[in-house]
Structure 1
């Protein structure tokens, strides 16, 4: 039996982060990954990296077509084979620093194989037994699959297959799911030349975002020719068509030669014999995890998608930091919360959010003030044609307006993910909004919209007596 301080199962964002921290601390560490080609996990292989590369290419197509109104002539269509080859090349650059060989050079033991629990603190891999002081489950998640009549008659993709198998651009692509993956890839394929229909069970796209954000995004999608069916489900595929049932209409049949399933994700739990380790699952099949990321086996912690709370690669990064803070300073441990979480949906326009949503603020009884800011009269938005943009800030209820602190923020605009970063920093550092108001921004940087929003908040509470006093002082001295 081989003994370790830490065993990490899974080489995705959470697994790489945890094994890296343990190794830097000088702890004897074993990293187990069942697929030698899967180092980097979903983000590197099937998610963030390939999808953003695809979006980058699709945006170039869109910009070229948009320039035709100024005289540019374009022709041809997307060559998916060449696009995928380019994406794989970009992935190779990234994966070279995080594969098994690179990790072994750093001093981390790496085993390729499937881990199965033998007891509460022992695992078997490839017939060998390993034990550790703690075991970290970083097994990730997989796309939730659907069983729809006639699926064998069309090409079916998920985010785990589309970047490898889709080497011919679909003429008619049906996207099932109106969440971030469905919206990002749906728009990308539309810009590359596919006729895209997004079928969404909910009442709007990106339903965790403010309603105004969903409304703006849907308007932009429709302007680009993307069809959206809400309150709808795909009932069948037959004769090159998809049958869509919705509340508003009878079954509508539309052309379909490929489908992308983006209907949520499920936690990876199969084949590890959790019973032998005393690890319990919920009724929905998720791993039972407490607010400190511990499973029902106190020697086993769960990090990343496997924890079943928020499924982002940077969410895994957040959990890694919290876990090791608690492991090394077990007094006044920090809980796993949504408080400092942020996310970006990389559509065009981008959708960015940080902090608790308004619903969660209300659930927790947090008193707040909300301010909405249109981009309609923002100079940068005018010249770059994104006056449809919208920002909302949620502030604490301090008596003095200038001393108010930012609780949360939401923005839809090109590069929204970059623009909100200073606002998120202000929230994290408890900087009062008066500090942002006092800044001098170069004209016309896009981030001036942040100051414009803050000034709108201050102007709402400007007292008439202060203006009167200012006039009196001016006239007295001048």
Structure 2
């Protein structure tokens, strides 16, 4: 952090309307955790927030999306049970579907609001913060000088330039889609990341005519080509997807005030037009700390607005008194990571370094809650392949004929486990298939606790479960390692 001359600091202090030991900017998951921990050691602390005082997860993310998916899964099971000799047709009440999403979301949010309401009013500031050139925090009519600052301003949806003006009220994002009071008849989803896939499939299962567009022929950011291709095969059984498509124009159809259109071109060169009720733009989320003025705290940002010199365990910027945590630092924009970073930063602020490091550094771990689920944990295949010092094998299992998966009628999937020859340990894994969320957690535990393949296989796997597929993949890793060792010992060319 750039040091200001003493005279500048004195001038800034004299202009301040309030001086505090700690200021937390942003009251999402990371900010709330940071505030709670820092409040244990600092009484003169404020938390500044612009917008809702809950969290992205509860308000516009994890929870409302899973509520929608839960309804969609019920409808899908009712409509697709003929193979089991069960014949039914789901009667979908769109208004009731969305009402439950709203009601349960409010229920989850109420728990957080209750906690926030218990904080002293004098420590909460409702307003948009900006850091001025003197390093003072401008908010409402106050100028606040803080000795230590935690930035936890989260992220917001990214909308390509001009799209908002062209699409008008037909434009939806993950921040607005859950405000619907009824289901639309038709929808385009732009983006095949986690948000796009989950919502495209959920609305499809709820009877909405959905078309998904993506610029590249990849889904969920998958980097293992075999897993990506399998995911596409599984998902296209019920989703209409135009992967590798180019959007040339979009807007509201002339002569209408509520019909959206998208002019697109497929990778084959064929051009076409989609028309429908709304366009869900799911092109990712971006942090917005550049607008906050963090450079006036001496924070440098790279070309993607990510803070440089970031301690990924605590969010501290270099040796400064500034911490940037959660989605704001764009390190790993996931709730459990934001929670840990906020907790650590709040403890670091109070010099409670022992508690600041009670959690191990987060390993990459992501789950997409489409069906079949998609999971990535640890190092990706390209990362492993680019490391010249790593020798690896890929253990594989298909879920197409895996016992319990076939019994349940969810038998479409593939798991790859990347094993290190030198250590017999797991480097990472990628999967599309049933129960991927649970298999991912088991593998994350194994990687975090440095378990080797033998230790994993010494664990009981109950029969019949989908998790037996994990054992099959681990055995494949072990088998390929044994063959590799035999080749090294005998130097046979055909190994």
1:156 offset after TM fit, Å?
A: 1.0
Deviates more, 1:322-331 or 1:121-130: 322-331
Indicate whether 1:226 and 2:240 are aligned: yes
Q: Secondary structure at the match of 2:443?
A: helix
Q: Secondary structure at the match of 1:223?
A: coil
Kept after mapping to 2: 8 A contact 1:396/1:405:
yes
Deviates more, 1:432-441 or 1:294-303: 294-303
Kept after mapping to 2: 8 A contact 1:199/1:228:
yes
Going from structure 1 to structure 2, the CA distance change for 1:287 and 1:430 (only over 3 Å counts) comes to: closer
1:23 offset after TM fit, Å?
A: 2.7
Q: Secondary structure at the match of 1:233?
A: strand
Size of the alignment, in residue pairs? Answer: 454
Cα deviation per residue 1:101-132 (whole Å; 9 max; x = unaligned)?
Answer: 52352568222112222466532322233333
1:350 corresponds to which residue? 373
Aligned pairs (5 A) from 1:126-275: 126-146=140-160, 147-148=162-163, 151-152=166-167, 155-164=170-179, 166-237=180-251, 238=253, 240=259, 241-269=261-289, 272-274=292-294
Kept after mapping to 1: 8 A contact 2:34/2:347:
no
Kept after mapping to 2: 8 A contact 1:8/1:15:
yes
Q: Distance in 2 between matches of 1:200 and 1:338?
A: 33
Kept after mapping to 2: 8 A contact 1:177/1:262:
yes
Kept after mapping to 2: 8 A contact 1:154/1:259:
no
1:290 corresponds to which residue? 309
Indicate whether 1:382 and 2:406 are aligned: yes
Cα deviation per residue 1:166-187 (whole Å; 9 max; x = unaligned)?
Answer: 3332222111111111111111
1:350 offset after TM fit, Å?
A: 0.8
Q: Secondary structure at the match of 2:81?
A: helix
1:27 offset after TM fit, Å?
A: 5.5
Aligned pairs (5 A) from 1:350-429: 350-367=373-390, 368-398=392-422, 404-429=424-449
1:360 offset after TM fit, Å?
A: 2.1
Kept after mapping to 2: 8 A contact 1:375/1:390:
yes
1:163 offset after TM fit, Å?
A: 0.5
Kept after mapping to 2: 8 A contact 1:150/1:236:
no
1:432 corresponds to which residue? 452
Q: Distance in 2 between matches of 1:225 and 1:283?
A: 35
Indicate whether 1:30 and 2:49 are aligned: no
Q: Distance in 1 between matches of 2:298 and 2:482?
A: 61
2:100 corresponds to which residue? 86
Q: TM-score, normalised by structure 1?
A: 0.85
Q: Distance in 2 between matches of 1:283 and 1:427?
A: 32
Q: Secondary structure at the match of 1:96?
A: helix
Going from structure 1 to structure 2, the CA distance change for 1:366 and 1:154 (only over 3 Å counts) comes to: farther
Q: Secondary structure at the match of 1:4?
A: strand
Cα deviation per residue 1:305-350 (whole Å; 9 max; x = unaligned)?
Answer: 111233222231243355457664779x98x999612110110111
Kept after mapping to 2: 8 A contact 1:154/1:257:
no
1:213 offset after TM fit, Å?
A: 2.4
Structure 1 stretches of at least 4 aligned residues deviating more than 6 Å after TM superposition? 336-339
Aligned pairs (5 A) from 1:21-100: 21-25=37-41, 28-35=44-51, 38-69=52-83, 70-79=85-94, 81-99=95-113
Q: Secondary structure at the match of 1:44?
A: helix
Going from structure 1 to structure 2, the CA distance change for 1:418 and 1:362 (only over 3 Å counts) comes to: same
Going from structure 1 to structure 2, the CA distance change for 1:295 and 1:133 (only over 3 Å counts) comes to: same
Q: Distance in 2 between matches of 1:249 and 1:338?
A: 46
Q: Distance in 1 between matches of 2:295 and 2:480?
A: 59
Unaligned runs of 5+ in 1: 467-478
Indicate whether 1:124 and 2:138 are aligned: yes
Q: Distance in 2 between matches of 1:75 and 1:422?
A: 35
1:392 offset after TM fit, Å?
A: 1.1
Q: Secondary structure at the match of 1:412?
A: strand
Q: Secondary structure at the match of 1:98?
A: helix
Q: Distance in 1 between matches of 2:411 and 2:82?
A: 21
Q: Distance in 2 between matches of 1:276 and 1:168?
A: 45
Q: Distance in 2 between matches of 1:457 and 1:280?
A: 43
Q: Distance in 1 between matches of 2:339 and 2:280?
A: 28
RMSD value over aligned CA atoms? Answer: 3.1
Going from structure 1 to structure 2, the CA distance change for 1:34 and 1:321 (only over 3 Å counts) comes to: closer
Cα deviation per residue 1:143-194 (whole Å; 9 max; x = unaligned)?
Answer: 1112249834771100001101x33322221111111111111111111111
Cα deviation per residue 1:11-35 (whole Å; 9 max; x = unaligned)?
Answer: 1121112112223455643211112
Question: Of the two structures, which has the highest relative contact order with CA contacts closer than 8 Å and spacing of 6 or more?
Answer: 2
Aligned with residue 10 of structure 1, among 4, 7, 26: 26
Q: Secondary structure at the match of 1:255?
A: strand
